[in-house]
Amino acid sequence: MKGGRDARKRRLLRRREAAVQQATQLALVLRATLRRRYVRCGKPGCHCRTGRGHGPFIYLSTSHGSGRTRQITVEPQAYGTARLYVQNYQRLWRVLEKISAINWQLLQERLIPD
């Protein structure tokens, strides 16, 4: 029975290491959401009063601790970078969830790594 436990432990540790290798470079992550919006300027007679509005403008929004949402506009030339950062954060979150699930299994099955 001990051999089966050792093999299970090795498999879980290999899966965990594979997940760790999927983690993106931590400097290139951002917890935020990208949104495309049209806005109305409020000037009387402007086409935006009856049409779709000005834009589209790209906004990056996030909330931290305080519960307040903060947003900034993203220049068109920075859109690709902002999108990459947000996608990297989402990928990293999925990898962390996978690693956490494996660590849970290791502890639940009493296969604590050395």
pLDDT tens-digit map of 23-33: 767 789 999 99
For the record, the structure tokens of 33 come out as 């959401």
For the record, the structure tokens of 79 come out as 């859109």
- Cβ(53)–Cβ(38) under 8 Å? yes
Q: Is the pLDDT of residue 79 over 80?
A: yes
Residue 113: its pLDDT value, please? Answer: 66
Query: What is the C-alpha separation between 103 and 106, in angstroms, rounded?
Result: 5
Residue 24: its pLDDT value, please? Answer: 66
